[in-house]
Amino acid sequence: MTSQFFRRFAPLVVLTLGALAAFTAAAGPKAYVGNFKDNTVSVIDTASNAVVATVPVAAGPHGMGVTPDGRWVFVTGDASSAMSVIDTATDRVTRTVEVGKSPHGVALTPDGKILLVGVYGEDRIAFIDTATLAIVATVPVPKPHTIAIRPDGKLAYVASQEPGKFALVIVDLATRAVSGAVALDKPPRDPEFASDGRALYFTRAGLNAVSVLDPATDKIVADIPTGASPHTAKLVPGAKYGTVVVQGPGELLLFDPATNAPVKSIAVGAQPHWMASADGRVFWVTNEGSNTVTVVDTQTGQTTNVAVGNAPRKVVVQPASAARVSANRIGIVNFAFAPGEMTVAPGTQVVWANDDGAPHGLQFKDGAPGTDLLLPGATFTREFDRSGTFDYVCSVHPYMTGRVVVQAR
């Protein structure tokens, strides 16, 4: 019986194990790239550097943020009044939130519970509860462009581009009120806190340098020289050097945060705009002028270009721990479903994986197609497109039960 079973199903076992291997190979964190002229977001699998999805979003994708768990990506539409919410489990927009005219930059608090949106066309910062997607507070700030939140979650620094009154406006996140401002001679482009919070790096239009602000005194303590038109500078967790996107020469500049001195430059594409990294070593740089993303290994200097949509600007990368294979995966282990109950949003694909040594199956009580035979190593996927509670059992062992609860955000 055993030999007959193996001869009959061996090809299927090989096939399903191969499918599982392919699924796992594409299970790295994903990078999300906003294509400004296409009104789309390109989704890149960081394990293969391949575009795996293209997601339509609000017109003129401008600000982008990803939650600490990597589950949700927020994209504001500069040419609209909306923010698109992408579910990274399905790479689909599950909600569109009206935030106000011409929203620009976004920033998430360290715990991921509050999202700040710079509503440029209405001179205010909107506070959004990420659990309910409701606007819970508004703070007046003239022409807010981009936003940096201090790593301790207490203050936000907003690049205010009000003509003649350029400044970094400081917002107290506890009181939700403006608590100060740093006057500037030129329009601020983008502020970014160092990962340890000891410095704020920001750029100014027309200044070929990155300014270093001491948050303890709110004084500029250094300027890091760059090529023409530096756009954004960061010092991310795990990185030895800080990085600067320099638009004029088309390069990623590395600098020493201890001395504020340039270290080396790595060529990228034309008119680079933004960058992101999940590990502090590999950076994803958008090239607005060449419709590509350059993947840069800052230790070796090796680069790879990935073609995306038209005029890519912002980019975010899921945290390294946010693997697709486990995002909505139910394992079958020791004759039980793990987890036995899962809650997801409408439009989510749930994957069942037989991690057991025995064959199992899936039978859904709502009558949806399941599978009578799920061999060890095989997977089964179902997409849930509506809200509700969906109970199921193992078609081979009916005492094995599970449930998927589908709830709209």
Q: Stretch 94-119: mean pLDDT, rounded?
A: 96
CATH number of the domain located at residue range(s) 30-317 in this protein: 2.130.10.10
- H or E stretch covering 155: strand 155-160
Q: For the chain, give every domain's residue range.
A: 2-24+324-406, 30-317
Q: What pLDDT, on the 0 to 100 scale, is given for residue 321?
A: 61
Q: Stretch 34-44: mean pLDDT, rounded?
A: 97
CATH number of the domain located at residue range(s) 2-24+324-406 in this protein: 2.60.40.420
Query: What pLDDT digit, counting tens, does each position of 247-294 carry?
Result: 999 999 999 999 999 999 999 999 999 999 998 999 999 999 999 999
Q: What are phi and psi of 79, to 5 degrees?
A: -95, 20
Q: What pLDDT, on the 0 to 100 scale, is given for residue 143?
A: 98
Q: Stretch 37-52: mean pLDDT, rounded?
A: 94
The answer for 192, left when phi > 0, alpha when psi is -120 to 50, beta otherwise, is beta
Banded model confidence at residue 379, pLDDT cuts 50, 70, 90: confident
Banded model confidence at residue 19, pLDDT cuts 50, 70, 90: very low
- In 250-408, which ranges are continuous DSSP H helix? none
Q: Do domains 2-24+324-406 and 30-317 have the same CATH topology?
A: no
Q: What pLDDT, on the 0 to 100 scale, is given for residue 357?
A: 79
CA distance 99 to 64: 14
Beta-bridge mates of residue 232: 245
* DSSP, residue by residue, 125-174: EEEEETTTTEEEEEEE-SSEEEEEE-TTSSEEEEEE--TT--EEEEEETT
DSSP state of 22: H
Q: Is the pTM of this model over 0.85?
A: no
